Amino acid sequence: MKIVVVGCGKIGTAIIANLVKEGHDITAVDTSDTVISNLTNNFDIMTVNGNGVDSDVLEEAGTKKADLFVAVTSQDEQNMLMCFIAKKLGAKHTIARIRNPEYNDRNLSFVQKQLELSRTMNPELLAAQQIFNIIKFPSAIKIEMFSTRRFEMVELRLKSESVLDGMTLRELRNNYKAKVLVCAVQRDNVTVIPDGNFALKSGDLIELAASPVEIQKFLKELGAFQKQARSIMIVGGSRIAHYLADMLTGLENEVKIVELDKKTCEDLSSALPNATIIEGNGMNHEVLSEEGIDTADAFVALTGMDEENILVSIYAQQKKIPTVITKVNSEELSHIAENLGLDCIITPAHIVSNEVIRYARALQNSVGSKMKTLYMLMDGQAEAVEFSVKLESKCIDIPLKHLPIQDNILIVGIIRDKKTIVPSGDDTIMPDDSVIVVSTGHHLTTLDDILVW
Task: Tell me what pLDDT residue 221 has.
Answer: 85
Banded pLDDT at 365 (limits 50, 70, 90): low
pTM: 0.85
Reduced to 3 states (helix: H, G, I; strand: E, B; else coil), residue 84 is helix
Lowest mean pLDDT: which of 61-75, 85-99, 341-355?
Answer: 341-355
Higher-scoring residue by pLDDT: 332, 106: 332
Q: Is the pLDDT of residue 252 over 90?
A: no
Reduced to 3 states (helix: H, G, I; strand: E, B; else coil), residue 345 is strand
Q: How far apart, in whole angstroms, are the C-alpha atoms of residue 261 and residue 53?
A: 33
| 130-168 residue pLDDT tens | 999 999 888 788 888 887 778 999 999 888 888 899 999
Task: Tell me what pLDDT residue 379 has.
Answer: 83
Banded pLDDT at 385 (limits 50, 70, 90): very high
List of residues 6+ apart from 210 with CB closer than 8 A: 151, 152, 178, 179, 180, 181, 218, 413, 420, 422
Lowest mean pLDDT: which of 54-58, 159-163, 391-395?
Answer: 159-163
Banded pLDDT at 366 (limits 50, 70, 90): low
Instruction: Taking residues 46-53, report their average pLDDT.
Output: 96
Banded pLDDT at 367 (limits 50, 70, 90): low
Instruction: Taking residues 382-393, report their average pLDDT.
Output: 93
DSSP state of 237: -
Show the domains of the chain with their CATH numbers.
2-121 (3.40.50.720), 139-222 (3.30.70.1450), 231-346 (3.40.50.720), 351-450 (3.30.70.1450)
Q: How far apart, in whole angstroms, are the C-alpha atoms of residue 58 and residue 66?
A: 10
Task: Tell me what pLDDT residue 279 has.
Answer: 97
Banded pLDDT at 238 (limits 50, 70, 90): very high
Task: Tell me what pLDDT residue 25 has.
Answer: 96
Task: Tell me what pLDDT residue 388 has.
Answer: 92
Question: Across-strand partners of 152?
Answer: 145, 210
Sheet holding 68-71, edge to edge: 46-49, 25-30, 2-6, 68-71, 93-97, 119-121
Task: Tell me what pLDDT residue 257 has.
Answer: 98
| Distant-in-sequence contacts of 81-84, Cβ < 8 A, 24+ apart | 81/53, 82/6, 82/52, 82/53, 82/58, 83/115, 83/117, 84/115, 84/116
